[in-house]
């Protein structure tokens, strides 16, 4: 239940009038959409005279404003696996600058500190780090070195809440694809990833229903596997997101086609376990 002022466009001095409602709590609205607060109703009581300034005072807004100025917010949401990779890169970057014998002497001379060194983001420092990675780790492909560089960029965002400059990103990518690949003889070829054609997918579904000899503990699981295969084909979502779908994330409804006027059965899927951690809806 919502209570609105008498005028469609509430003025600055508009007040809210509340009438008795037989519930323990009542949500108060000012205007058409903004929720201002919840009033606790006593038995047989009523409340009048609530104003916008009483619910959202100037002091409260000023406090929120000052808090926003002092807080730092992450610019990107990362999945759990990505955060694990960032922590691994943090240890690798820190150990490289502080513990390794081949760089310890330069750290002592130049007084390097991991966070500040990454913040300065000098191209020569990053190139030296990639050289060390290739000499100490077993890496044979250029794409693997590029992954290390991406994770180091994500570590920069985590530490300093800002991204590396586009010019530095471009210079390092060119360095990895060119001189670094040539010096260490890295494989820069891309493996083909063929797509599954519609006819091949139909054969997979047919095999699942008609020719599969596997026995499920519960035959409902056979239906669930078929549903996951169809959702993967139609939405292109990640396997982790599909495997976390529950029945409450599925909504089956009937909608009328705009042109033909025929009723169509549609399914809306809400993905709760995505890479960024945000809910996404797929028709």
Query: How do residues 125-151 score in pLDDT, each as one tens digit?
Result: 899 889 988 988 889 999 999 999 999
List C-alpha distances in Å: 56 to 6, 19, 50, 83: 20, 21, 11, 37
The residue-averaged pLDDT of 117-128 equals: 88
Cα distance between residue 127 and residue 150, in whole Å? 13
Please, which pLDDT band fits residue 152 given cuts at 50, 70 and 90?
Answer: very high
User: Across the strands, what pairs with 142?
Assistant: none
In this predicted structure, what is the pLDDT of residue 177?
Answer: 93
Specify the higher pLDDT residue, 79 or 19.
79
The residue-averaged pLDDT of 203-222 equals: 90
In this predicted structure, what is the pLDDT of residue 282?
Answer: 57
Please, which pLDDT band fits residue 234 given cuts at 50, 70 and 90?
Answer: confident
Give the pTM.
0.54
Q: What percent of the chain has pLDDT over 70?
A: 69
**What's the whole-number average pLDDT of the chain?**
76
Question: In the chain, where are the structural domains located?
Answer: 15-70, 80-184, 198-282
Specify the higher pLDDT residue, 99 or 221.
221
Please, which pLDDT band fits residue 30 given cuts at 50, 70 and 90?
Answer: very low
Question: With b meaning 16 or more CB within 10 Å and e meaning fewer, what string describes 146-178?
Answer: bebbebbbbbbbbbbeeebeeebeeebeebbee
The residue-averaged pLDDT of 112-137 equals: 87
Contact (Cβ atoms closer than 8 angstroms) between residue 272 and residue 279: yes
Cα distance between residue 186 and residue 97, in whole Å? 25
In this predicted structure, what is the pLDDT of residue 178?
Answer: 93
In this predicted structure, what is the pLDDT of residue 37?
Answer: 46
Containing 250, the helix (H) or strand (E) segment is strand 250-256
- Residue 120 pLDDT > 50: yes
- Residue 182 pLDDT > 90: yes
Q: What percent of the chain has pLDDT over 90?
A: 20
In this predicted structure, what is the pLDDT of residue 76?
Answer: 66
Please, which pLDDT band fits residue 32 given cuts at 50, 70 and 90?
Answer: very low
5-19, 77-91, 155-169, 174-188: least confident range: 5-19
In this predicted structure, what is the pLDDT of residue 122?
Answer: 87
Please, which pLDDT band fits residue 281 given cuts at 50, 70 and 90?
Answer: low
* pLDDT tens per residue, range 61-110: 888 888 878 776 665 667 778 888 888 888 888 877 655 444 444 444 44
Nearest to 87 by CA among 35, 158, 21: 158
Contact (Cβ atoms closer than 8 angstroms) between residue 180 and residue 134: yes
């Amino acid at each position: 239940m919502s209570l609105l002022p008498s005028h469609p466009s509430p003025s600055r001095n508009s007040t809210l009038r509340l009438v008795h409602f037989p519930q323990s709590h009542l949500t108060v609205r000012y205007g058409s959409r903004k929720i201002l607060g919840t009033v606790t109703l006593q038995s047989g009581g009523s409340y009048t005279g609530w104003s916008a300034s009483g619910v959202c005072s100037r002091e409260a807004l000023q406090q929120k404003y000052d808090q926003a100025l002092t807080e730092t917010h992450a610019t990107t949401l990362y999945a759990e696996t990505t955060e694990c990779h960032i922590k691994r890169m943090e240890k690798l970057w820190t150990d490289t600058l502080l513990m390794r014998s081949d760089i310890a002497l330069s750290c002592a001379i130049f007084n390097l500190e991991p966070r500040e060194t990454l913040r300065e983001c000098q191209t020569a420092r990053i190139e030296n780090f990639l050289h060390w990675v290739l000499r100490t780790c077993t890496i044979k492909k250029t794409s693997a070195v590029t992954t290390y560089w991406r994770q180091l960029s994500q570590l920069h965002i985590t530490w300093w809440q800002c991204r590396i400059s586009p010019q530095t990103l471009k210079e390092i990518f060119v360095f990895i694809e060119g001189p670094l690949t040539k010096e260490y003889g890295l494989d820069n070829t891309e493996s083909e990833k063929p797509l599954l054609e519609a006819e091949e997918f139909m054969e997979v579904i047919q095999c699942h229903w008609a020719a599969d000899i596997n026995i499920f503990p519960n035959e409902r699981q056979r239906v669930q596997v078929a549903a996951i295969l169809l959702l993967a084909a139609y939405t292109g979502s990640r396997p982790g997101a599909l495997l976390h779908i529950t029945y409450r994330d599925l909504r089956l409804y009937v909608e009328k086609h705009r042109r033909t006027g025929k009723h169509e059965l549609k399914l809306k899927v809400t993905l709760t376990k995505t890479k960024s951690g945000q809910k996404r809806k797929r028709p």
